[in-house]
Structure 1
Amino acid sequence: MIHIAHSPLYSHPLPEGHRFPMLKYELIPEQLKHEGVITQKNIFTPAICPKETVLLTHTKEYYNKLIYQTLTASEQRKIGFPQSPLLTERELVIAQGTIDCCYHAMKDGVALNIAGGTHHAYADKGEGFCLLNDMAIAANYLLHKKNAEKIIIIDLDVHQGNGSARIFEHEPRVFTFSMHGAHNYPFHKEKSDLDVPLLDGTDTNTYLSVLQNTLPGLLEKEKPQFAFFLSGVDILDTDKFGKLKVTMEGCRQRDVFVFEELKKRNIPVAVAMGGGYSADVRKIVEAHCNTFKAAIDIFS
């Protein structure tokens, strides 16, 4: 059975003007259940990630700022959300959800977190709607527990995974691969182990060709024992901020390709949804649901 992490906290209410990004977290599981793709048995609710696990990745000073609500106004502006105890709790639950997905993936091949992919969070700061870096926390936890000796982060969100790149810049056991918009946020890029910047207007055929010419060789060379896949749908041509021209079908084909390449090499994968900012929330939900459908079709 494919396991899916979800919590009521994922759609934590925010002040007016911040609510739209959270809406999809309510709609995705309901749509999947409505279509009969999953049942409630597929869904599990993560607990709060323990402090000692978070501190394998984030600094104690930054962790305390989140817990005791002492972020400065400037730090909150960089994150994009006003601080609140519930928002911190939400991020801790998301991080634990990604860790739990790792263990389910080791058994079932794949597991998915309905939230997560908070790749803009650094060890000592948050930005870009990311407080804690869930995939970095999970990767460091797997290394700490000796569950894997080599890990790859496949980051296909339209925005570079700058926080992940910086966190792992001196960690050879974690390979960071980011394929993103060259002229999109963040405007100061960090150095991933492999960055593939795409020009504005990159279409479906070009996008898929670049991915198909990059990922298989990378997996063969690095031979990871575990993968994280950040499946952002802000690559869509309908996205307000993405600047790429990938169709809904192209986005689905991307997910299918990644899953097939990992499965044929017996590399378990934990998936997080990442970004998606199409004006019509139905487009966002459809694209994310396609990721779940592809994972279930290929790994079941």
Structure 2
Amino acid sequence: MSLAIVHHPAFDAQFDAAHRFPMSKFTRLAQILVEDGLADGGFFQPIPAPEHWLELAHAPAYVEAVLTQRVDRATEKAIGFAVDDRVAMRSRCATGGTVLAARLALERGIACNTAGGSHHAAREGGAGFSVFNDVAVAASVMLADGEVGRVLVFDCDVHQGDGTARIFADDRRVFTLSIHGERNYPHPKAVSDLDLGLPDKTGDEDYLAVLPELLATAFDRAHPDIVFYNAGVDPHVDDRLGRLSLTDTGLAERDRRVIGFFRDRDVPVAGVIGGGYSRDIEALSRRHSILHRVAAAFA
């Protein structure tokens, strides 16, 4: 069976090429997956997340503000861009994409979104290029619907998953883990169920060496029915915002070890792409495709 991959054209809100957030990577990633035969059966297309899904993880007033494009300037500044109609739709579709990826993972064992990982958005509002916290919404939807009873969020984005940690701080059904650059954004950090902050310049060998204990501890403590895996590529040595020093080979091995650990234990894995920041959209998009290439081996 081929890997189930979720994509929607609205993932790309068509920012100007000079914008700090490399929005066009979502379109190019999908093209690469088709060109390289990873999505030769086509994509699964999600619905835009409805309001009642979003309100499971976010304050109703904030959800309404996004859906009506009335987000206040302070919140837009924290997010890093204006929340217009295209951004609002992009955020709803990306969130719907993670819900769909999770449901496909329950059916097939593994599935991946071509977006997602907007982990800085907290209950009261967005931040750090994150409008809605798609993983938090997806986990909340599945718990509310009784599709799962326990969730593990395994977040390897270089920036701590602070929004996710705060949303689920008092929910024992969701175990949050974040492995990130200690000196990187955000400041101050939130408190996940398990955090590991790494020093600047951490490379492949040192990064991979910490994974076995983190995986075993998270599995033992979370007892998950599903894992949401944030495979951010911003720990890469060439990432503009990363400060760590992983290579493409290191990222691929990270993904292989994380996905393999949970699939060996028959735990479904829903992958999201997380962060990655470069002016070179081709190189960045191919770096994001590492997740889908590795995941395809487990499909």
Range into which the TM-score falls when normalised by the shorter chain: over 0.9
1:6 is the counterpart of 2:31: no
Secondary structure of 1:274's partner?
coil
Aligned to 2:179: 179
| Count of residues in correspondence between the two structures | 298
User: Tell me, which stretches of 5 or more residues in structure 1 are unaligned?
Assistant: none
Distance 2:74 2:224 in 1: 38
Matches within 5 A, 1:212-291: 212-291=212-291
Verify the 8 A CA contact 2:177 2:218 in the aligned structure 1: no
Aligned to 2:86: 86
Aligned to 1:52: 52
1:21 is the counterpart of 2:36: no
Distance 2:259 2:273 in 1: 14
Amino acid at match of 1:129: F
1:106 is the counterpart of 2:89: no
Distance 2:92 2:80 in 1: 18
**Alpha-carbon deviation of 1:279?**
4.0
**Alpha-carbon deviation of 1:228?**
0.1
Amino acid at match of 1:285: S
1:165 is the counterpart of 2:162: no
Distance 1:136 1:63 in 2: 14
Distance 1:29 1:173 in 2: 33
Distance 2:31 2:185 in 1: 31
Verify the 8 A CA contact 2:153 2:177 in the aligned structure 1: yes
Secondary structure of 1:21's partner?
coil
**Alpha-carbon deviation of 1:16?**
5.6
Amino acid at match of 1:296: A
Taking every aligned residue pair, what percent have the same amino acid on both sides? Answer: 34
Verify the 8 A CA contact 1:252 1:287 in the aligned structure 2: no
Aligned to 1:63: 63
Aligned to 1:73: 73
List, as ranges, runs of 4+ consecutive aligned residues in structure 1 with deviation greater than 2 Å.
14-20, 278-283
**Alpha-carbon deviation of 1:217?**
3.1
**Alpha-carbon deviation of 1:289?**
1.2
Higher mean Cα deviation, 204-213 or 249-258? 204-213
CA deviation vs aligned residue, 1:92-131 (integer Å, no higher than 9, x gap): 1111111111111011111111011000001111010111
Secondary structure of 1:298's partner?
coil
Secondary structure of 2:75's partner?
helix
Amino acid at match of 2:18: G
Amino acid at match of 2:15: L
Secondary structure of 2:271's partner?
strand
Amino acid at match of 2:228: F
Verify the 8 A CA contact 2:95 2:138 in the aligned structure 1: yes
**Alpha-carbon deviation of 1:65?**
1.0
Verify the 8 A CA contact 2:5 2:39 in the aligned structure 1: no
Distance 1:99 1:273 in 2: 14
Secondary structure of 1:178's partner?
strand
User: Tell me, which stretches of 5 or more residues in structure 2 are unaligned?
Assistant: none
Verify the 8 A CA contact 1:18 1:81 in the aligned structure 2: no
Distance 2:222 2:91 in 1: 30
Secondary structure of 1:44's partner?
coil
Aligned to 1:152: 152
Question: RMSD over aligned Cα, in angstroms?
Answer: 1.3
Quickly say closer, same or farther: Cα 1:279–1:67, change in 2 above 3 A.
closer
Distance 2:277 2:169 in 1: 29
Distance 1:42 1:13 in 2: 22
CA deviation vs aligned residue, 1:190-211 (integer Å, no higher than 9, x gap): 1000000000011110000011
Distance 1:63 1:203 in 2: 39
**Alpha-carbon deviation of 1:70?**
1.8
**Alpha-carbon deviation of 1:14?**
2.2
Distance 2:162 2:185 in 1: 10
Verify the 8 A CA contact 1:78 1:127 in the aligned structure 2: yes
Secondary structure of 1:111's partner?
strand
Aligned to 1:205: 205
